[in-house]
Structure 1
Amino acid sequence: MIGRLRGILAEVGEAECLIDCGGVGYVATCGARTLGRLPAPGDETTLFIHSQWSQDQGPRLYGFLTRDERKVFTLLQTIQGVGPKAALGVLDVLPPAELAAAVAREDKAAVGRANGVGPKLALRIVTELKGKSLTDGVFAPTAPGVHAEAAVAAPPPPSVTGEAVAALLGLGIAEVNARRAVDHALIKLGEEAELPLVIRTALQELGR
């Protein structure tokens, strides 16, 4: 089973990319958010892979830029009615930390923004993810005032991504451009970068 691919990004399509690993090309299906954060073709990249097999399509690889995204993708598919397409749709609108925050505040509307996720399915996702670890050290509370073992005592703090995007929105930048710039900044700086540096780098990406 393939768990990770590291190689040269050869092609990027509407829903997948091709990575050349030592002369062998692997096609990985990715969400729009992941595809938008990939480097330019010809550059090296690393994808964390979820391998899946179905009778209709045979073996298929799904690619993510972080382990948390792969983890949430796998977890989402344990929920009745959530297949790969819906799981990718959820991750397109809510990265793992933001999804954990949405579950903690029972924000069904936020989850329902995902393509292929209606109100009933959004409610099921929020309900079934309560008490489960979505990112390292971040748990979604089981109910107000009731927490799963090892859960944090308060809702997850806002992610650097969410705060940086909010800061750019406050400057009048369109959300789609703000998210793309912040994603590119985090690729350059790493997921542990501090918020002020992420904002400055994102503004540079936007030419400001």
Structure 2
Amino acid sequence: MIGKLKGLVDAIGESHCIIDVNGVGYEVQASARTLRNMEIGQPVTLVIDTHVREDAIRLFGFTSEVERSWFRTLQNVQGVGSKVALAVLGTLSPHDLSNAIALGDWASVEQTPGVGKKLALRIVAELKDKAPALAVAGLHVPAAVNGAGKGAREASASGDGHATAEAISALTNLGYNPAQASQAIAIAARDLGAEADTAKLIRRGLRELAR
């Protein structure tokens, strides 16, 4: 199984890219978000999810282990296959998806091409209890950083979920239910803005839980 690819971007298509690894080109399916932050000729590192079937081997590439975990988890929802899972991750970052699920914000998920209200509601309902663990997982797994250009900027910007993940972890360690902690911190992040640090999120989250 291929778990990671590190090489140069050789080509970028509508829903895939070609990664040149020592002269061998690997075709990798990726989300629109991931593809937008690639540049031909630039180095890139992708975490890979390999799907082996009788007639084909398909590679799906992600910028982090957390994003790959979301890809796998989304497909546990009835009606969500690899194509829809990639589309969701192309519309919402793992951080934004986690917040949307915690807040029950199915409308944000519905913005995904090919996802209607019924499926968006199902995704939010079925993943509510799994989202906190995936959010906190981002604390322990570094992103697969692209070498230069837009990809590097996106990788550094992806840290906006770190304070949120730390705050959820802190509230969970205090004994709060993970789903409750996730919802409280999502509300805090929404009210305080993207610049809020961990301490501010925790204080605001605790006030929300005290209501």
Q: CA deviation at 1:151?
A: 5.2
1:48–1:66 contact (8 Å) kept in structure 2: yes
Residue 9 of structure 1 contacts residue 20 of structure 1 at CA under 8 Å; is this kept in 2?
yes
Q: 1:172 is matched with which residue?
A: none
* Residues 11 and 19 in structure 1, CA contact (< 8 A), matched pair in contact too: yes
Q: Shift of residue 94 of structure 1?
A: 1.0
Partner amino acid for 2:178? A
SS at match of 2:119: helix
Q: How many Å apart are 1:153 and its aligned residue?
A: 7.6
Structure 1 pair 99–152 and aligned structure 2 pair: CA distance change class (3 A) = closer
Deviations 1:96-122 (A, max 9, x none): 111111111100100111111111111
Distance 1:43 1:87 in 2: 26
1:22-37 → structure 2 map (5 Å cutoff): 22-37=22-37
- Specify every segment of 5 or more residues in structure 1 that has no aligned partner in the other structure, as ranges: 140-145, 165-208
- Unmatched 5+ residue regions in structure 2? 140-164, 169-175, 196-211
Match of 1:154 in 2: 184
In structure 1, C-alpha distance between the alignment counterparts of 2:32 and 2:179, rounded to whole Å: 34
Aligned residue runs from structure 1 range 120-131, under 5 A? 120-131=118-129
Q: Which has the higher helix share?
A: 2
* Structure-1 separation of matches of 2:98 and 2:66: 11
Cα distance in 2 for residues equivalent to 1:108 and 1:50: 26
Which TM-score applies when normalising by structure 1? 0.67
1:135-164 deviations in whole A, cap 9, x for unaligned? 32547xxxxxx72389558234649xx838
Against the structure 1 CA distance between its residues 152 and 122, is the aligned structure 2 distance closer, same or farther, given a 3 Å change threshold? closer
The answer as to whether partners of 1:131 and 1:147 remain within 8 angstroms in 2 is no
Structure with the bigger RCO (C-alpha within 8 Å, sep 6+) is 2
Distance 1:129 1:17, change over 3 A: same
Percent of pairs with identical residues: 43
* Separation in 2, partners of 1:71, 1:105: 20
| Structure 2 counterparts to residues 35-46 of structure 1, below 5 A | 35-38=35-38, 40-46=39-45
Shift of 1:65: 1.2
Other structure's SS at 1:11 match: strand
Counterparts in 2 of 1:152 and 1:74: CA distance versus 1, 3 Å: same
The answer to whether the 8 Å contact 1:7/1:22 transfers is: yes
After TM superposition, what 4+ stretches of structure 1 lie above 4 angstroms from structure 2?
149-153
TM-score under structure 2 length normalisation: 0.66
The 1:153/1:18 distance shift into structure 2, 3 A limit, reads: closer
**CA separation of 1:23/1:116 partners in 2, compared to 1, >3 Å: closer, same or farther?**
same
Cα offset, 1:67, TM superposition: 1.5
What amino acid sits opposite 2:6 in the alignment? R
- Please state whether the residue corresponding to 1:82 is helix, strand or coil: coil
1:114 pairs with 2:144:
no
Letter in 2 for 1:148: P
1:50-87: CA deviation from partner (whole Å, max 9, x where unpaired): 111344x5210011112211110011011111001110
Amino acid at match of 2:48: I
The count of aligned residue pairs is: 156
Q: How many angstroms apart in 2 are the aligned matches of 1:61 and 1:163?
A: 33
